[in-house]
């Protein structure tokens, strides 16, 4: 925690690490600042408040540097805007748009400079490269009340509140909708590594504010919601455990990278002739991860285009291209393992022994892109708490053969014909990918449900069920109980290997977030006097961050309006 006070103007800025960060041994990485502005004629002494928070928690040095750059840039940009306005520039809206652009530009410049310095220190600075803004990513908000007018700028999910004497907040921001963070904003405005203009999304506010005695102006930013909780579990099926020579042939992974969530499950074929199926499935999930990470920014851009354009045809195209890239990356891994030489896209007979299915899911903001080659399933709990089985039921009445990464290119059916792509819109609450060791256990029930036009049994058991459990008891409890549950499903159902990769997004708070200082705290503060009240804020904020789904840290700047 850091704090500074300006008693004569009653302002406090502090950054508080929440229980999650403390437990992990991390420090908060946010920044909070108060700056007294020159006193304009006919008004009280205004204070400029600026706060920022790292997007993905404050655990790294780059993250806290990113937040510091953001707060300093916001403070400077807003101070310049206020100065110009007080000097007579008439169009305050335009001034604030310029300030917001200046904030983003300065932040990007400082990140580039910091990145260059780090590379110089490592001795790798000579080679030109693209700066990865992601690790520095931050949200930022800055505000000032001057001459009865509120001026505010921000990028990302800050919150800004003016509180009345009873401590009830008149919230000016945050937005209901998530805004791009700084790195996303910069990335979206870069073409070939160069800025293409600085008309950036974000927010700016100016409005007339009735100044009430004893009211407070508070600015706080924090990650709007903590990163999603993710997990990936693969367990040997009961059938495989009985055969000691048969390893688990499933593989699962779950990761998130600056807002992009990646889930994948692969299931190596069980037939004895697929002698390398366990490696094949691992290579498949690794290959999927590699192709996503290798072109992370480009994929985000493509997903953004799908979002904005509501373009399902493009979604199909992006999905098939991803599958194609994953297939080539898988070939490369298999070839390396086999120590074979050859052209990368040439099929090699020995590859078939690595035969595996592949499921891949990308979640970007309110878009869920799902790929399937073979079987297994993707389940989504949507924002309306409705559970969906994403793919149509595969044909299982007659056979257990599936599509496979080891398919023989025969000139008749290409990968594009074999891979299924589905896109869902709307922010998900839970996404769960499972191998057929799980989904097949409910196949007969779902076949019947489909015939009777009822909801999917699998979706009820493995999306709605977990969601209810997590909502009631927390993610950790579900995650702890999952392996035993999967084991029971295997024993009761398929006896096959069982895998789950899942991501859960804590419910967003009722907008705006119930502020920790309302309604009682501020009133108590007014009664106790500014200094005594300010001293209680860290513990109030810490307590407020305890429930699951709250930010991992809070940066708060607060000042009395006079």
Given the rule CB under 8 A, which residues bind other proteins? 237-239, 242-243, 267, 269-275, 348-353, 355, 396-404, 406-408, 436, 440-445, 447-448, 457, 460-462, 464-465, 468-469, 485, 488-489, 492-496
Q: 3-state SS of 104-161?
A: HHHHHHHHHHHHHHHHHHHCCCCCCCCCCCHHHCEEEEEEEEECCEEEEEEECCEEEE
Please identify, using beta-carbon distances, which residue of 220 and 439 lies nearer to other proteins.
439
Going 389 to 392 to 396 to 402, the CA torsion angle's sign is negative
In the complex, what is the shortest distance from the CB of residue 412 to other proteins, in angstroms, rounded to a whole number? Answer: 10
Please identify, using beta-carbon distances, which residue of 488 and 546 lies nearer to other proteins.
488
The tokens for 72 are: 């300093």
In the complex, what is the shortest distance from the CB of residue 394 to other proteins, in angstroms, rounded to a whole number? Answer: 10
Q: 3-state SS of 339-358?
A: CCCCCCCCCCHHHHHHCECE
202 Rama sector, left if φ>0, alpha if ψ -120 to 50, beta otherwise: left
In the complex, what is the shortest distance from the CB of residue 476 to other proteins, in angstroms, rounded to a whole number? Answer: 18
Q: What are phi and psi of 23, to 5 degrees?
A: -65, -30
Output the CA torsion 230→232→238→241 (10° steps).
-140
Please identify, using beta-carbon distances, which residue of 26 and 385 lies nearer to other proteins.
385
Give the residue among 120, 116, 159 at the shortest CA–CA distance from 136.
116
What three-state secondary structure class fits 511? coil
In the complex, what is the shortest distance from the CB of residue 327 to other proteins, in angstroms, rounded to a whole number? Answer: 14
Please identify, using beta-carbon distances, which residue of 39 and 336 lies nearer to other proteins.
336
In the complex, what is the shortest distance from the CB of residue 341 to other proteins, in angstroms, rounded to a whole number? Answer: 17
- For residues 36 and 324, give the distance between their C-alpha atoms in angstroms, rounded to a whole number: 57
| HSE value, Cβ hemisphere, 13 Å, CA-based, for 313 | 0
In the complex, what is the shortest distance from the CB of residue 330 to other proteins, in angstroms, rounded to a whole number? Answer: 14
Please identify, using beta-carbon distances, which residue of 126 and 451 lies nearer to other proteins.
451
* 8 A C-beta contact, residue 288 and residue 364: no
What three-state secondary structure class fits 396? coil
- For residues 302 and 291, give the distance between their C-alpha atoms in angstroms, rounded to a whole number: 14
In the complex, what is the shortest distance from the CB of residue 284 to other proteins, in angstroms, rounded to a whole number? Answer: 13
In the complex, what is the shortest distance from the CB of residue 321 to other proteins, in angstroms, rounded to a whole number? Answer: 22
What three-state secondary structure class fits 85? helix
The tokens for 41 are: 């004629």
In the complex, what is the shortest distance from the CB of residue 355 to other proteins, in angstroms, rounded to a whole number? Answer: 5
């Amino acid at each position: 925690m850091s704090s500074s006070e300006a008693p004569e103007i009653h302002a406090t800025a502090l950054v508080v690490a929440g229980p999650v960060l403390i437990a992990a041994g991390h420090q908060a990485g946010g920044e909070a600042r108060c700056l007294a502005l020159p006193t304009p004629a006919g008004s009280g002494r205004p204070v400029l408040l600026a706060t920022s928070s790292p997007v993905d928690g404050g655990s790294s040095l780059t993250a806290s540097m990113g937040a510091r750059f953001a707060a300093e840039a916001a403070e400077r940009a807003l101070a310049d805007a206020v100065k110009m306005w007080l000097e007579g520039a008439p169009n305050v809206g335009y001034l604030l748009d310029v300030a917001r652009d200046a904030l983003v530009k300065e932040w990007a410049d400082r990140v580039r400079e910091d990145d260059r310095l780090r590379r110089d220190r490592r001795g790798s600075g000579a080679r030109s490269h693209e700066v990865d803004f992601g690790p520095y990513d931050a949200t930022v908000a800055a505000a000032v009340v001057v001459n009865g007018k509120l001026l505010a700028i921000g990028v990302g999910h800050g919150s800004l509140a003016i509180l009345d004497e009873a401590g009830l907040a008149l919230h000016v921001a945050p937005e209901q909708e998530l805004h791009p963070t700084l790195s996303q904003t910069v990335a979206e405005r870069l073409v070939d590594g160069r800025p293409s203009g600085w008309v950036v999304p974000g927010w700016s506010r100016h409005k007339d504010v009735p100044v009430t005695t004893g009211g407070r102006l508070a600015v706080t930013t924090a990650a709007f919601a903590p990163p999603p909780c993710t997990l990936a579990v693969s367990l040997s099926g009961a059938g495989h455990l009985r055969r000691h020579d048969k390893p688990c042939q499933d593989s699962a992974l779950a990761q998130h990278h600056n807002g992009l969530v990646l889930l994948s499950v692969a299931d190596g074929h069980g037939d004895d002739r697929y002698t390398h199926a366990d490696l094949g499935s691992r290579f498949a999930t690794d290959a999927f991860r590699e192709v996503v990470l290798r072109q992370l920014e480009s994929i985000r851009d493509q997903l953004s285009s799908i979002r904005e354009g509501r373009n399902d045809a493009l979604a199909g195209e992006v999905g098939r291209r991803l599958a194609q890239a994953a297939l080539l990356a898988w070939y490369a891994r298999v070839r390396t393992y086999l120590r074979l030489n050859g052209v990368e896209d040439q099929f090699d007979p020995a590859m078939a022994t690595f035969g595996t299915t592949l499921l891949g899911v990308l979640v970007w903001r309110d878009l869920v892109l799902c790929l399937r080659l073979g079987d297994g399933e993707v389940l989504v709990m949507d924002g309306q708490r409705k559970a969906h089985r994403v793919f149509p039921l595969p044909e299982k009445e007659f056979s257990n053969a599936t599509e496979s990464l080891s398919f023989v290119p025969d000139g008749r059916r290409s990968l594009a014909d074999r891979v299924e792509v589905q896109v869902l819109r709307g922010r998900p609450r839970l996404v769960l990918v499972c191998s057929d060791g799980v989904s097949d256990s409910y196949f007969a029930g779902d076949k019947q449900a489909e015939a009777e036009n009822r909801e999917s049994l699998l979706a009820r058991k493995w999306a709605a069920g977990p969601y209810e459990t997590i909502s009631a008891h927390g993610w950790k409890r579900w995650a702890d109980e999952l392996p035993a549950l999967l084991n029971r499903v295997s024993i009761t159902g398929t006896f096959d290997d069982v895998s789950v990769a899942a991501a859960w997004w804590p419910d967003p708070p009722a907008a705006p977030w119930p502020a920790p200082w309302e309604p009682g705290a501020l009133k108590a503060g007014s009664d106790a006097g500014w200094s005594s009240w300010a001293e209680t804020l860290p513990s109030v904020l810490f307590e407020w961050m305890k429930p699951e789904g709250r930010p991992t840290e809070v940066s708060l700047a607060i000042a009395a309006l006079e």
